[in-house]
């Protein structure tokens, strides 16, 4: 009998997510899953609804319909703060650091709302993973390179000790060397058992990190499956690279 890959239980299950801004529907009936220890991609051309899908999962934009389940529990009605406390974190596009604040103060924002002892313990664990940050903790975050700032943004997201991280274009504006370093960092985080939902345009990074992906076009899922299969499909590849619909 040939060996079969184990079926991973989803950490996140989204069903029929619809997001609208007034009369404009940005995301229509999107359904997807993400499992622990894996990176799941959300692909599509600019304006396809990728970022809005992430924000919809975390309740940062108005959901018109759909459900969100986390760890088998329906969390659709929870506010964003409660979802973060439950174990979901967002690493936003363009990093969104406070450049005049120290690296350490930026990191501490990721554990906002917790007591001093908890924040200190989480900071110490973060410095164990990101050893170089400890030596530069007092520096303003704005002095860092783009790749270093992205690493701080990821570290800040991990300060909430999430089981699921939503990542929006982590390679944006980075050099090829920095993209490789961020890819290695994210692969290590996934290997530790964290689930990740990744919006990304960099094909090589997607191929390196993602086992499966969902392709969005005009706010709808138009294809899903193993990344290698999706990128072999000319129609999907063209849409993903922004050459069509």
pLDDT in tens, 125-165: 999 989 899 999 999 999 999 999 999 999 999 999 999 99
CB of 15 closer than 8 Å to CB of 207: no
pTM: 0.90
Separation of alpha carbons 43 and 169, rounded Å: 10
- Look over the chain and give the mean of its residue pLDDT values, rounded to a whole number: 90
Token reading at 220: 């709808």
User: Which pLDDT tens digit goes with each residue over 4-52?
Assistant: 445 578 999 999 999 999 889 999 999 999 999 999 999 998 889 999 9
pLDDT of res. 239:
62
Q: Which CATH superfamily is domain 9-87+163-245 in?
A: P-loop containing nucleotide triphosphate hydrolases (3.40.50.300)
Report the percentage of the chain scoring pLDDT > 70.
93
Q: Which residues of the chain are in CATH 3.40.50.300 domains? A: 9-87+163-245
CB atoms within 10 A of CB 67: 15
């Amino acid at each position: 009998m040939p060996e079969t890959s184990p079926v991973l239980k989803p950490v996140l299950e989204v069903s029929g997510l619809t997001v609208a801004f007034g009369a404009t529907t940005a995301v229509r009936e999107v359904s997807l899953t993400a499992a622990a220890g894996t990176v799941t991609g959300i692909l599509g051309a600019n304006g396809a609804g990728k970022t809005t899908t992430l924000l919809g999962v975390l309740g940062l934009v108005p959901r018109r319909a759909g459900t969100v389940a986390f760890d088998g529990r329906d969390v659709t009605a929870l506010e964003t703060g409660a979802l973060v406390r439950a174990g979901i974190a967002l690493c936003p596009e363009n990093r969104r650091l406070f450049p005049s604040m120290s690296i350490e103060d930026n990191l501490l924002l990721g554990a906002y709302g917790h007591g001093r002892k908890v924040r200190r313990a989480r900071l110490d664990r973060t410095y164990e993973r990101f050893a170089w940050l400890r030596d530069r903790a007092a520096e303003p975050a704005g002095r860092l390179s783009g790749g270093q700032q992205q690493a701080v943004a990821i570290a800040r997201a991990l300060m909430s000790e999430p089981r699921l991280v939503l990542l929006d274009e982590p390679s944006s504006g980075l050099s090829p060397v920095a993209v490789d370093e961020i890819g290695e960092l994210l692969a290590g985080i996934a290997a530790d058992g964290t689930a990740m939902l990744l919006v990304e345009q960099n094909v090589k990074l997607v191929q390196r990190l993602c086992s499966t992906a969902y392709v969005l076009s005009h706010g709808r899922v138009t294809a899903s499956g193993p990344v290698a299969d999706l990128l072999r499909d000319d129609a999907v590849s063209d849409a993903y690279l922004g050459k069509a619909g």
